[in-house]
Structure 1
């Protein structure tokens, strides 16, 4: 049965998606009146959603200034990446015993697509494919609590766009990251849990905070 979505939930998803896809950038002010108009919704569920987004670390709230998209400094990025890396590594280790040949083939196809996205500088496509790469084995971990924790952390921290205007440098960084995806896939095939855990903890480090 589909989960019931309240008006607050719809506003939450609308704003969160705009943050994730880069329409709303760090420190941008949220226009409550415009959101109410766009969604044809009253102020009450909109305010409820904004406070929930603040609680979930996507927005900041200051009296008299209102709501703005949260800005993460280098230390916060580092801290988040370490936590996500630890949980992602745990999910991969748990998933090892549940992944089948079709799953491994799907992961391999995603790595190939990411190679193509990097070479064509299709960074939006790259992000979608790398998200699915990690999501596939996370889903196979068979641990709903862990899955929800990772999703919540990623929603508040991992964006669907890259802030860097240096496309050549970004391409170099993403090639390095996708080489790590290949290594992670090989360790999943080998069921080498200790090396897999180490590889994923390392993978989620912030390679270059100005690129992300």
Structure 2
């Protein structure tokens, strides 16, 4: 009986962890937001135990920080740390897209093209959360074809840490900038024409926007 209870709690914790990770990736939480164990337990309709385990797991991955009164905070990253996260993303994600090229198919290219068109529409409406959701789908559709689960897991952890700051960066922008989608279009063009040697450079430039933005905020550019 005890084993069954533990298994159930673990399953609940895994589901809560996955949902909270998704919220961090998409900027649902902002830097400085407080995540209350009690409020989350009410929201998910569970006891505090699986929520606590999910939050502790996210804290161990440095996606959130432990705070007082059974709560956790979304970190307020310094501009330097935010830029450093995007630099790390660029290194891993350029390698992932290069490794994925052998598994790319015409159907996959059609799906990527549709996502790219939707991202243009989201940017025109300044619907940054919808843009971030399709941006995630675009990138990870590619990365999962790299046949390297450890690399994909590391990239997802970086997206968890950078998601809240990325959303905040979009909100700070004065006008919708369709150049945020330019890298995706360039990558699609390179895929169509078989220019594999360009994949990594295009991805590094696409992700480099985040590093450049936060370095300019810190006055380093």
- TM-score of Structure 1 vs Structure 2, range by shorter chain: 0.7 to 0.9
Deviation readout 1:131-154 (Å, 9 max, x if unpaired): 221122112222222222222221
- 1:126 corresponds, among 131, 139, 146, to 131
1:27 pairs with 2:32? yes
Deviation of 1:75 (Å): 1.2
- 1:115 corresponds, among 97, 101, 120, to 120
SS in 2 for 1:38: helix
Residue number in structure 2 paired with 1:138: 143
Deviation readout 1:159-186 (Å, 9 max, x if unpaired): 49722545643x12xx112112111111
Asked if the contact 1:81/1:204 (under 8 Å) is kept, the reply is: yes
1:50 pairs with 2:85? no
- Tell me the TM-score normalized by structure 2: 0.79
Greater fraction helix: 2
Residue number in structure 2 paired with 1:84: 89
Gap change, CA 1:9 and 1:99, over 3 Å in 2: same
Q: For 2:20 and 2:131, how far apart are their aligned partners in 1?
A: 22
Residue number in structure 1 paired with 2:11: 6
SS in 1 for 2:66: strand
Residue number in structure 2 paired with 1:201: 204
- 1:95 corresponds, among 81, 91, 100, to 100
Moved more, 60-69 or 132-141: 60-69
- Tell me the TM-score normalized by structure 1: 0.82
Q: For 1:195 and 1:83, how far apart are their aligned partners in 2?
A: 19
Residue number in structure 2 paired with 1:38: 43
Moved more, 73-82 or 152-161: 152-161
Q: For 2:69 and 2:43, how far apart are their aligned partners in 1?
A: 23
Residue number in structure 2 paired with 1:74: 79
5+ unaligned residues in a row in structure 1: which ranges?
none
Asked if the contact 2:95/2:200 (under 8 Å) is kept, the reply is: yes
Residue number in structure 2 paired with 1:106: 111
Count of aligned residue pairs for this structure pair: 205
- 1:186 corresponds, among 186, 189, 205, to 189
Deviation of 1:187 (Å): 1.6
Q: For 2:112 and 2:23, how far apart are their aligned partners in 1?
A: 28
